A and B are shown apart, each in its own frame.
Chain A
């Protein structure tokens, strides 16, 4: 099928990059948001605001869910029931069970589900993963990932019950990367310091992979004004790959007054990883092939993040519970 209209559900921070992304790719976009901010968004970027989910579902071919995480499941299931392909912002859900149920619902409905794990489309990570997959460092022995920035300002991020906190909302990117380069994770150990509900907070996690690889992930939701910074180090018997987002700037400013850089990394519209991600999903819908990241990958990232939060609470190492498999539904269209 040729999908030409996208229904964006939600009008928050990520909507501000997804909406222009879809428009750049030539899609018509309608936006619905229960917070009443849809029109503000469409006035700024384009597209058309609609007043209800029913109206949105009547209009579109693809639904893009960019709402707070705790609302993903009912919206995705509703879109699936309406027969729409779904793009869902990460994390897919707050639990493995919800993630599996969403995957099963989409499978039953015969539609595709794509998780917006955008870091898979950041070129530095892509370059690293390609090199690792090509065997250029051998099997990774030790990996480090870090993701540092000021805490998001929207209050719901600070509610563990809505966002899953720093580990679930932000470090899920790095859990996904760690698993992409070094394979399945078996155990996690993590600590958190600071007040996750209000003040600066940081999570330190240690992952053990089935391959024997050990991974360190460090994330920070820091004070306002803390610059966004991310990077990694992946080392194996045959080589070392490392990256720091601040190390090799293409364009630098100095002396400007605006210090608050927000919680998303600055991206150039023309080379935006967000647009590349949406383009990959659109292509996968068009040709029926796999996207760079699957809903099953997203579920595994949720599995790691929930175990990290459990390790923080129980103050000990947690073995991942693999009892809940994503493959509980029927075979899905587009599965390879």
Chain B
């Protein structure tokens, strides 16, 4: 299978490229046409592709002329829509980095473009592929926890310092709220099939990394159509020199007891005398690889991947309502999915 990657703007592209390079059933080629426009010192382009060991083409047109079966869009969030429309029109199945877009209109254009072209659209929510999440979802849906009352989620990470655009509200659609709310929001949606987010209240500040234009800390409260509430801490609050990038936790509070999920908890702890710093040796399932496996399997089997474009849109709707709430200081109603 031929898989193209559009842009190294989102650094998840580096992980995807390395995983695809190692798959014997995949040929992977990257294009990173805007790499020269990035701030000095940011990696990209043919040099980065070469260092990973994947093929490189100079433009999106050249990449699409190569006739990829599937394309992974990792450009800046606001540029997803253009890249998806072009790739879908060329007949490629799409895996789009999250958040799906920065506006509802763009997200709908992305979904429509894929529908019109008859190609699959998947949103990149790798944490969905945590095996323990599948177990939790099974137990919640089986009623083992009784009625769920509320969820406390946290997706904290370092400021994504390797790319300046993450804190450019125009390119990213915001800051930490746009970047980190969607993962937990998607996990919560996944627990309750058919549920909708109804109401969102959010607060944010720029006290961490105060030189950045976008918000770096945020709390998002969500009320769902089934009566469940959730609060998500989406802050880029992991210190720059912390021994790991960050993590995600989900506390499910239910009538029959609580469950705590920490997909990135597995590790060996230690201390390096050489580095004079703690050691944190993460292990566990490679969630990116599991997600790519679902994407490529869906493409091969001609079925709809999960999570799809609509899953990306409903997570984006929560983000957009959060920004509305931050702007007005009042709770915001969530747009109803078409």
Q: What is the interface of chain A, defined by CB distance below 8 A to chain B?
A: 139, 141-142, 144, 146, 148, 189, 191, 193-194, 199-202, 204, 206, 208, 212-216, 218, 220, 222-223, 225-226, 233, 235-237, 239-240, 315-317
**A contact face: mostly helix, strand, loop, or mixed:** strand
Encoded as 1 (CB less than 8 Å from any A CB) or 0, chain B from 192 to 236 comes to 000000000101110111100000111101010001111101010
- For the complex formed, measure the closest distance between the CB of A148 and the CB atoms of chain B, giving whole angstroms: 7
- For the complex formed, measure the closest distance between the CB of A82 and the CB atoms of chain B, giving whole angstroms: 45
- For the complex formed, measure the closest distance between the CB of A67 and the CB atoms of chain B, giving whole angstroms: 30
Q: Given A200-B149, A235-B237, A316-B331: A216 and B219 within 8 A (CB)? A: yes
- Is B256's CB under 8 angstroms from A223's CB? yes
- Is A222's CB under 8 angstroms from B331's CB? no
Q: Given A191-B221, A193-B150: A216 and B208 within 8 A (CB)? A: no
User: Is B12 an interface residue, CB under 8 A from the partner?
Assistant: no
- Is B229's CB under 8 angstroms from A193's CB? yes
19 contacts between A and B (CB under 8 A): A142-B205, A142-B233, A142-B237, A189-B221, A193-B150, A200-B149, A204-B229, A204-B230, A206-B221, A208-B203, A214-B204, A216-B231, A218-B150, A223-B256, A223-B257, A235-B208, A235-B239, A237-B209, A315-B331
Q: Please measure, in the bound complex, the distance between the C-alpha atom of A237 and the C-alpha atom of B258, giving whole angstroms.
A: 32
- Is B239's CB under 8 angstroms from A239's CB? yes
Q: Given A142-B235, A240-B237: A202 and B154 within 8 A (CB)? A: no
Q: Please measure, in the bound complex, the distance between the C-alpha atom of A220 and the C-alpha atom of B330, giving whole angstroms.
A: 25
- Is B258's CB under 8 angstroms from A220's CB? yes
User: Is B251 an interface residue, CB under 8 A from the partner?
Assistant: yes
- Is A191's CB under 8 angstroms from B257's CB? no
Q: Please measure, in the bound complex, the distance between the C-alpha atom of A216 and the C-alpha atom of B221, giving whole angstroms.
A: 10
Q: Given A212-B205, A235-B235: A200 and B331 within 8 A (CB)? A: no
Q: Please measure, in the bound complex, the distance between the C-alpha atom of A41 and the C-alpha atom of B269, giving whole angstroms.
A: 47
User: Is B329 an interface residue, CB under 8 A from the partner?
Assistant: yes
Interface positions of B from 150 to 167, Cβ below 8 Å from A:
150, 152, 154
User: Is B171 an interface residue, CB under 8 A from the partner?
Assistant: no
- Is A201's CB under 8 angstroms from B221's CB? no
- For the complex formed, measure the closest distance between the CB of B22 and the CB atoms of chain A, giving whole angstroms: 35
Q: Please measure, in the bound complex, the distance between the C-alpha atom of A254 and the C-alpha atom of B235, giving whole angstroms.
A: 36
- Is B207's CB under 8 angstroms from A139's CB? yes
- For the complex formed, measure the closest distance between the CB of A50 and the CB atoms of chain B, giving whole angstroms: 43
- For the complex formed, measure the closest distance between the CB of A57 and the CB atoms of chain B, giving whole angstroms: 44
Q: Please measure, in the bound complex, the distance between the C-alpha atom of A214 and the C-alpha atom of B237, giving whole angstroms.
A: 12
User: Is B255 an interface residue, CB under 8 A from the partner?
Assistant: yes
User: Is B298 an interface residue, CB under 8 A from the partner?
Assistant: no
Contacts of A233 in B (CB 8 A): 154, 237
- Is B233's CB under 8 angstroms from A216's CB? yes
- Is B217's CB under 8 angstroms from A142's CB? yes
- Is A204's CB under 8 angstroms from B203's CB? no
- B255 contact from A199, A214, A317, Cβ within 8 A: A199
- For the complex formed, measure the closest distance between the CB of B305 and the CB atoms of chain A, giving whole angstroms: 32
- B238 contact from A139, A240, A315, Cβ within 8 A: A240
- Is A220's CB under 8 angstroms from B253's CB? yes
- Is A206's CB under 8 angstroms from B205's CB? no
Q: Please measure, in the bound complex, the distance between the C-alpha atom of A193 and the C-alpha atom of B150, giving whole angstroms.
A: 7
Contacts of B223 in A (CB 8 A): 191
Q: Please measure, in the bound complex, the distance between the C-alpha atom of A206 and the C-alpha atom of B331, giving whole angstroms.
A: 12
Q: Please measure, in the bound complex, the distance between the C-alpha atom of A237 and the C-alpha atom of B204, giving whole angstroms.
A: 15
Most chain A CB within 10 A, of B204, B205, B256, is at B205
Contacts of B257 in A (CB 8 A): 222-223, 225-226
- For the complex formed, measure the closest distance between the CB of B260 and the CB atoms of chain A, giving whole angstroms: 10
Beyond A208-B203, A218-B251, A237-B208, 16 extra complex contacts between A and B, CB < 8 Å: A139-B207, A141-B205, A142-B208, A142-B233, A148-B258, A189-B201, A191-B221, A200-B253, A200-B255, A202-B149, A202-B253, A214-B218, A226-B258, A236-B208, A237-B207, A240-B242
Q: Please measure, in the bound complex, the distance between the C-alpha atom of A213 and the C-alpha atom of B219, giving whole angstroms.
A: 11
Q: Please measure, in the bound complex, the distance between the C-alpha atom of A240 and the C-alpha atom of B216, giving whole angstroms.
A: 15
- For the complex formed, measure the closest distance between the CB of A313 and the CB atoms of chain B, giving whole angstroms: 14
- In the complex, which residue of chain A has the Cβ closest to the Cβ of B227? A193
Contacts of A189 in B (CB 8 A): 201, 203, 221, 331
Contacts of A316 in B (CB 8 A): 330-331
Encoded as 1 (CB less than 8 Å from any A CB) or 0, chain B from 119 to 148 comes to 000000000000000000000000000000
Contacts of A213 in B (CB 8 A): 205, 207
Contacts of B150 in A (CB 8 A): 191, 193-194, 202, 204, 218
Q: Given A193-B149, A193-B227, A240-B238: A222 and B258 within 8 A (CB)? A: yes
